[in-house]
Structure 1
């Protein structure tokens, strides 16, 4: 299929939106946003205000939803801008929280592994890693094991590092970094991978530090938070996204707030569950934190819209009575 949509100037982009029914009350400000933020990025925030129709395939008879080139009545350009700014601030809160979690996990991993061997992170032996986890194929059909894939990623992080402490260590102590130095180069994904290969006893030990009694649940959470970290780092739309890395939930009654999500499949694929996981881990790291209160106030300030199509926090997967346990 050939792509045939022509390039459009910023004024032409604005005229296109107006031709589809969008109300622009301040053209100068609207053009400024198109020039600074971009049509494509903003389109994710006016997309929910478009009209949709249900279509049926001629051959398969399968029903599908098609977005029309028309906005709901009274949709204004600022409706999309306010959503964009709400989402941007939400990502900033998450960047702060995920940094705290990432740094804390670095300490946990380096302290535990380093107590046995300063170079445990590069030795695939059962004293450090569970053979079933570390030797499993990285993905179906892969000739590379989980450990080999992790080690390749780790070596890449070291070789690309411009950190002074890495250069200093190599100059004075040798090529291989001890684990308490090495962890400072790990991103959230590498941390999640390293944790997932630990022996079950060690995974349980770390999980319990964060108040999670089930190590498999905690491992799943780290994987999902790694996905969330990537969204935040790349400034991706978050507030109403369908989550592709669904976190595991504990058994009923194990973690009280999780009970609100059990049996509500739709909510489990929305960002609010990841926000709730983040909240729990941050509070376990910093018991006196006010982070969750700041996020609460931000969520309560969800922007109102001029559009006849009204959006709300349900798009995030907010559960009923969420403020009671948040």
Structure 2
């Protein structure tokens, strides 16, 4: 039977940490940080790379910190992960905007009649997709319906467009779909459209880097990786050590990017970083990668080498990553 956790003051929390071998040189600063950040969100979430795992030094496997670890080291990892989330979210939102734009454009180009996105025949004929297709159509129909008559509306831009034009096209509605919904939309449209959108991404990459071909299945896989990263980045969950529960097939993408087999499929932070290169403008990706390199360099200078290497192993950032020439 587990013992219930009891309340501990900031002073008591610091004492517990010291008893476990964590050095707290500036107690006043540590108390201020704990009052802002919360013990659980800071210590429990980021202590792992700093804990002593060597059985010779910790034979009873107690929660002990590696000798020399300071409170500031844990806080540095916390700040690194927070900035990593913000940086990743910014780029994932760009990808989200990009795929929404491409889907809305290509679908509307093929099906030009008003409200074409509400007609089941304009989607995949594969019966396996019909349930999700109907959900997407219902979501889009409800977005329009809820903004026609209600005085209080969730998205004023939809109401304004409807009031002016008496209809709301897909290229307007797509902006108000979540990444999960737009992922499902991409799944249930017909295969010709799916491949056309994949070619759009490939053509953009080819113009800025070197010629490649992307299939719809590869865009599917990228979306499978991007969706949880987008959510974790937005909801302030620990990001640096996250990876997909189940690998995805990204063998062709690894070949296209001259990466070792299996390096993308695990869905680590490194996987997501590299996949973003396929779906962002080159200039944006270069700015992103340099900022990411800065974050890694700052962490390396702020924590002990042993903890830093553990974090790099969790992210799967290679040593080459720290050289910006390797990222562009």
Scaled by the length of structure 2, the TM-score of the pair is 0.79
CA distance in 2, matches of 1:163, 1:12: 47
Deviation at 1:152, TM superposition (A): 5.1
* Matching of residues 240-259 of structure 1 within 5 Å: 240-244=241-245, 246-251=247-252, 254-257=255-258, 259=259
Deviation at 1:254, TM superposition (A): 4.2
Q: 1:122 aligns to what?
A: 118
Q: 2:134 aligns to what?
A: 148
Q: String of CA shifts for 1:4-53, please: whole Å, max 9, x gaps.
A: 11122222222221121111111111111111111111121112222348
Structure 1 pair 229–164 and aligned structure 2 pair: CA distance change class (3 A): same
5+ unaligned residues in a row in structure 1: which ranges?
Answer: 55-65, 136-144
Structure 1 pair 71–2 and aligned structure 2 pair: CA distance change class (3 A): closer
Q: 1:162 aligns to what?
A: 154
Length, aligned pairs only: 300
SS at match of 2:123: coil
Q: 2:192 aligns to what?
A: 201
Structure 1 pair 71–162 and aligned structure 2 pair: CA distance change class (3 A): same
Deviation at 1:81, TM superposition (A): 0.7
Correspondence for 1:83 among 77, 84, 90: 77
Q: String of CA shifts for 1:134-175, please: whole Å, max 9, x gaps.
A: 22xxxxxxxxx222343455567665962222222454555x
Structure 1 pair 306–105 and aligned structure 2 pair: CA distance change class (3 A): closer
Q: 2:317 aligns to what?
A: 318
CA distance in 1, matches of 2:3, 2:165: 55
CA distance in 2, matches of 1:157, 1:2: 48
CA distance in 1, matches of 2:201, 2:230: 19
* More strand by percentage: 1
SS at match of 1:237: coil
SS at match of 2:52: strand
* Matching of residues 289-300 of structure 1 within 5 Å: 290-300=287-297
Over the residues paired in the alignment, what is the CA RMSD in angstroms? 3.0
SS at match of 1:97: helix
Structure 1 pair 308–22 and aligned structure 2 pair: CA distance change class (3 A): farther
* More helix by percentage: 2
Correspondence for 2:173 among 182, 185, 191: 182
Deviation at 1:194, TM superposition (A): 0.7
Is this contact kept in 1: 2:107–2:193, CA < 8 A?
no
5+ unaligned residues in a row in structure 2: which ranges?
Answer: 148-152, 203-212
CA distance in 2, matches of 1:297, 1:14: 30
Structure 1 pair 89–53 and aligned structure 2 pair: CA distance change class (3 A): same
Scaled by the length of structure 1, the TM-score of the pair is 0.80
Structure 1 pair 315–283 and aligned structure 2 pair: CA distance change class (3 A): same
